[in-house]
């Protein structure tokens, strides 16, 4: 089973994802869950709110879950041999744009500095690697993402670039999933294919 859970910030999607992957793991499909955390490493000296948010997520995970903090989610999926929870694609897209590296490790300028099409191409190359690994990982797999295309057009280029890149990632990963769930105000809607 491969699931994508999307929704707005604080909609309840991470808790739903944690619950679903725990049920899948306990259903005899594999051992401890691998929790892929592809966001920025929290540094309380730089951003106390982000560090607190990450710590709350860590505390509510079962002790036998293995946390892997990496932006190379394709490689992490390739190494995983059981249930995987990827939380979340939004922080991953940000990290991809921050690094600017190609999936083969070739260093480049920050994706934020690239012209729009080149930045989208950079993210697309990473998305292609992620989707290929997602399709072949033994699973079960659950990914969490943010739905950012329902609001106003961002005023700044960086906001528009992020929105477009995450929308692209969401579409491609959704196509590789058995189910896509939308969480709104803690309520879950199953999206048809």
Residue 8 annotated as part of some ligand binding site: yes
Residue 53 annotated as part of some ligand binding site: no
Does residue 26 contact residue 64 with C-beta atoms inside 8 Å? no
Residue 3 annotated as part of some ligand binding site: no
Residue 10 annotated as part of some ligand binding site: yes
Buried (b) or exposed (e) across 7-44, using 16+ Cβ within 10 A? bbeebbbbebbbebbbebbeeeebeebbbbbbbbebee
Q: Considering the candidates 57, 126, 156, 172, report the single residue annotated as catalytic.
A: 57
Active site residue 172: no
Residue 105 annotated as part of some ligand binding site: no
Residue 110 annotated as part of some ligand binding site: no
Quote the tokens at residue 33.
């869950």
The CA angle 38-57-12, to the nearest 5 degrees, is 95
DSSP state of 182: E
Residue 157 annotated as part of some ligand binding site: no
CA distance 82 to 131: 17
Checking DSSP bridges between strand 66-69 and strand 34-37, what pairing results, if any? parallel
Residue 72 annotated as part of some ligand binding site: no
Which residues belong to the annotated binding site for GTP?
7-14, 37-39, 58-61, 69, 87
Annotated binding site: 7-14, 37-39, 58-61, 69, 87
- Residues serving a catalytic function are 57
């Amino acid at each position: 089973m491969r699931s994508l859970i999307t929704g707005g910030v604080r909609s309840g999607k991470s808790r739903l994802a944690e619950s679903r992957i725990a049920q899948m793991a306990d259903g005899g499909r594999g051992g401890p869950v691998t929790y892929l955390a592809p966001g920025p490493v929290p540094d309380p000296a730089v951003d106390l709110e982000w560090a607190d948010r990450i710590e709350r997520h860590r505390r509510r995970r079962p002790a036998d879950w293995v946390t892997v903090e990496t932006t190379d989610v394709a490689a992490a999926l390739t190494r995983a041999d059981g249930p995987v929870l990827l939380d979340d694609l939004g922080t991953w897209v940000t990290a991809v744009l921050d690094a600017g590296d190609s999936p083969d490790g070739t260093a480049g300028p920050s994706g934020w500095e690239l012209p729009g099409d080149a930045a989208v191409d950079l993210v697309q190359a990473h998305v292609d690697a992620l989707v290929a690994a997602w399709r072949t990982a033994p699973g079960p797999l659950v990914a969490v993402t943010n739905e950012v295309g329902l609001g106003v057009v961002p005023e700044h280029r960086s906001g528009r670039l992020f929105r477009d890149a995450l929308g692209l990632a969401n579409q491609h990963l959704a196509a590789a999933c058995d189910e896509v769930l939308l969480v709104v105000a803690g309520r879950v809607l199953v999206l048809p294919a």
